[in-house]
Amino acid sequence: MLRIWGRTNSTNVKKVLWCAEELALPFERIDAGGAYGVVDEPAYRAMNPNGLIPCLQDDDLVLWESNAIVRYLCAKYGRGSLHEADPAARAEADKWMDWTTSSLASPFKAVFWNTVRLSAEQRDDKALEEGLAACGTLLGRVDRTLSEQPFLSGTAWGMGDIPLGCFAYAWFEMDIERPDLPHLAAWYARLQSRPAYRQHVMIALT
Ligand SMILES: N[C@@H](CCC(=O)N[C@@H](CS)C(=O)NCC(=O)O)C(=O)O
Per-residue pLDDT reduced to its tens digit, 1-43: 999 999 999 999 999 999 999 999 999 999 999 999 999 999 9
Average pLDDT, the chain: 97
Nearest CA to ligand 1 atom 13: 52
pLDDT-based confidence at 80, cuts 50/70/90?
confident
Q: Is the pLDDT of residue 131 over 90?
A: yes
Q: Domain 2-77: give its CATH superfamily.
A: Glutaredoxin (3.40.30.10)
Nearest-CA neighbor of 191 among 175, 181, 69, 163?
163
With pLDDT > 70 as the criterion, what percentage of the chain qualifies? 100
| Residue 205, pLDDT score | 92
How remote is the CA of residue 192 from the centroid of ligand 1, in Å? 24
CA distances from 113 to 101, 172, 197 (A): 16, 15, 23
Domain locations in the chain as residue ranges: 2-77, 87-198
- Give distance in angstroms: CA of 191 to centre of ligand 1: 23
Ligand 1: which atom is nearest the Cα of residue 54? Answer: 20
Q: 180 in helix, strand or coil?
A: coil
Distance 10 CA to ligand 1 centre (A): 7
User: Residue 12 C-alpha to ligand 1 middle, in angstroms?
Assistant: 6
Partner residues linked to 56 by β-bridges: 4, 63
- Who lines ligand 1 at CB under 6 A? 10-12, 33-34, 39, 52-54, 65-67
- pLDDT higher than 90, residue 48: yes
Residue nearest to atom 2 of ligand 1 (CA): 65
Ligand 1 center from residue 133 Cα (angstroms): 23
- Quick one: which atom of ligand 1 is closest to the CA of 33? 17
How far CA 24 is from CA of 6, 20, 96, 97, 176, in Å, comes to 19, 6, 23, 21, 35
pLDDT of residue 38: 98
Mutation test residue for ligand 1: of 52, 65, 104, the one with most atoms within 8 Å of CB: 52
Q: Which CATH class is domain 87-198?
A: mainly alpha
Short-list 97, 121, 117, CA closest to 109? 117
Q: What is the mean pLDDT of residues 72-86?
A: 94
Task: Calculate mean pLDDT across residues 60-83.
Answer: 96
Q: How many CA atoms lie within 13 A of 136 on its CB side?
A: 11
Smallest CA separation from ligand 1 atom 12, residue: 52
